[in-house]
Amino acid sequence: MIKTNIIKSTGTNIPSLTLGCSGIGNLYHRLSNTEAINVVEEAIKMGWRSFDVAPHYGSSLAELRLGLALRNLKRNDFILSTKVGRLLMPRTEDGLQNGNEFYDENPFNRVYDYSYDGIMRSYEDSIRRLGTRRIDILYVHDIGKYAHGATPEERKYFKTLCESGFKALEELKKNGQIKAYGIGANETEIMLEAMDYANLDIVLLAQRYNLLEPRKEEFFAKCAKYNVSVAAAAVFASGALVKKSITEGHYEYGKITPQVFKRIQEISKICDNHGVPIGAAALQFPLRNKNVVSVVCGVTSTSQVKKNYEWAQWDIPDELWQDLAAIDIY
């Protein structure tokens, strides 16, 4: 069984393993509806009980598919998170807005909106797409410089969130429509800043905390100070840590560089010496931090569902972590 942790500020139980659903929105892979729903249903059969999605994934495709797959699971038996910050508007132009990343996505344009009204509408739209009574966790998606650059527009978005958007999230929480809220982004800087403006319960940190980026002392110290829990996403560094060739997979949504691949080989050698798959070490590494309550693993096949579930429960000796520390992983 997968261990359950507690989101400290709310007392909400969350499984330490969460199914990331960007893949069933056709991120870098093309899945049919049947294949995508089968992935989630297989996860449910195996014991996964936490699911993370976003309107951005496939421009609503992932939310629709996830909702169908969850229909036969009792609502109190799982944790569901999605995201706000983008509204989906019917696309009148030919082609797809982001079809080179999310293959065969739905024909909607994403429009950033971090306001009170925008967040409320996003929540209501997601409820309908997912076919659910409630959403447990809402993350404000891709706020910050990583997504918007160091621009006046980025500051405008953050000001709107602080003056208006956080009020919507607090209201949803107060009314019992969500249990927790926070930021979901690929950077720690915006999370550190947001902690000074809102009572965040949990943040979803993608890419920035894994075996290739293990040092986040300032970030975790402030999380502890403000009682903010952390979900770590992209723990395989966009797949780089579990690929056997530099020509496979992605890192930072781009190609794996020779320098990064050399580092992966160092880590992999230590794992091999202890008979531990590098995937198991990568998945369990973030959970050794007391602030991290769940790891989010994106999947595109039933075999990946099974493999990640096995890795989550792999018995890893302390000596492996000591050897990784010797090459400055910690």
Active site amino acids: 57
Q: Tokens 């049919």 — which residue?
A: 32
Report long-range pairs for 40-46 (Cβ below 8 Å, ≥24 apart).
40/65, 40/66, 40/69, 40/70, 41/69, 42/302, 42/305, 42/306, 43/19, 43/299, 43/305, 43/309, 44/69, 44/70, 44/73, 46/305, 46/306, 46/309
Q: How many Å apart are CA 201 and CA 310, to the nearest integer?
A: 29
CA atoms 202, 205, 208, 213: torsion sign: positive
Strand partners, 138: 82, 181
Specify whether the CB–CB gap between 126 and 172 falls below 8 A: no
